[in-house]
Chains A and B, each alone.
Chain A
Amino acid sequence: DTEVTQTPKHLVMGMTNKKSLKCEQHMGHRAMYWYKQKAKKPPELMFVYSYEKLSINESVPSRFSPECPNSSLLNLHLHALQPEDSALYLCASSQAGEGANYGYTFGSGTRLTVV
Chain B
Amino acid sequence: GDSVTQMEGPVTLSEEAFLTINCTYTATGYPSLFWYVQYPGEGLQLLLKATKADDKGSNKGFEATYRKETTSFHLEKGSVQVSDSAVYFCALLHRGNQFYFGTGTSLTVIP
Chain A residues near B (Cβ < 8 Å): 6, 31, 33, 40-43, 45, 48, 56, 88, 90, 94-109, 111
Contacts and interface: CB of A to CB of B under 8 A. Distances in A.
A40 B104 contact: yes
B104 A42 contact: yes
Given A45-B99, A108-B42, A102 B32 contact: yes
A98 B96 contact: yes
20 contacts: A6-B43, A40-B87, A40-B106, A41-B103, A42-B89, A42-B101, A45-B98, A56-B97, A56-B98, A90-B43, A90-B44, A98-B95, A101-B31, A101-B93, A101-B94, A102-B32, A102-B49, A103-B32, A103-B49, A105-B46
B34 interface: yes
A100 B49 CA distance: 12
A11 to B, nearest CB: 14
Of residues A33, A106, A111, which shows the largest number of chain B Cβ atoms within 10 Å of its Cβ? A106
A106 B45 contact: yes
A97 to B, nearest CB: 5
B51 interface: yes
Nearest to A88: B43
Given A42-B102, A94-B96, A104-B99, 17 more contacts: A33-B98, A42-B101, A43-B99, A48-B98, A56-B97, A90-B44, A97-B96, A98-B95, A101-B51, A102-B32, A103-B49, A105-B46, A106-B43, A107-B43, A109-B42, A109-B43, A111-B41
- Interface size of B as a range: 20 to 34
Contacts of B46: 103-106
A25 to B, nearest CB: 13
A21 B95 CA distance: 28
A105 B34 CA distance: 12
Interface string B38-68: 0001111110010100000000000000000
